[in-house]
Amino acid sequence: LFNPSHAEAKVDRRSNSESRKELPFHVVVGRVFSFWKKAAPIIVHYKFATLWMNQVKHFDRSRRDDIYDTLHRKYAPIAKIVILDLKGLFVKIGQVMSSRPDFIPGVYIDH
């Protein structure tokens, strides 16, 4: 039979911060800095291309798609390297994103 007192004895009563090892502050800051150092140029390039296409040049849909495809082919391998270098949560986010072809371009999913 089920004895509740035995089940309670096996419950780990430590808080989350006690049960997992926390990274030192300088490591966390280093990882965040490393991410933004690699991701910021990609984000800026996409934002600039969007602004340029919308404000300066008014391209038709096929020309816009070609420009975005070029950016995707250029940055998908870099995004993969960034995700794999930073490990942990970044890999998990990459896995989730790769399961969303309605949200992420196919070039990124293929990498």
pLDDT at 13 over 70: no
CB 9 within 8 Å of CB 56: no
The proportion of the chain whose per-residue pLDDT surpasses 70, expressed as a percent, equals: 82
Within the chain, residue ranges assigned H as helices are: 4-9, 16-19, 25-51, 61-86, 89-98, 106-110
What span, in angstroms and rounded, lies between the C-alpha atoms of 73 and 58?
A: 23
- Report the length, in residues, of the chain: 111
What span, in angstroms and rounded, lies between the C-alpha atoms of 42 and 60?
A: 23
Task: Note if the pTM is more than 0.75.
Answer: no
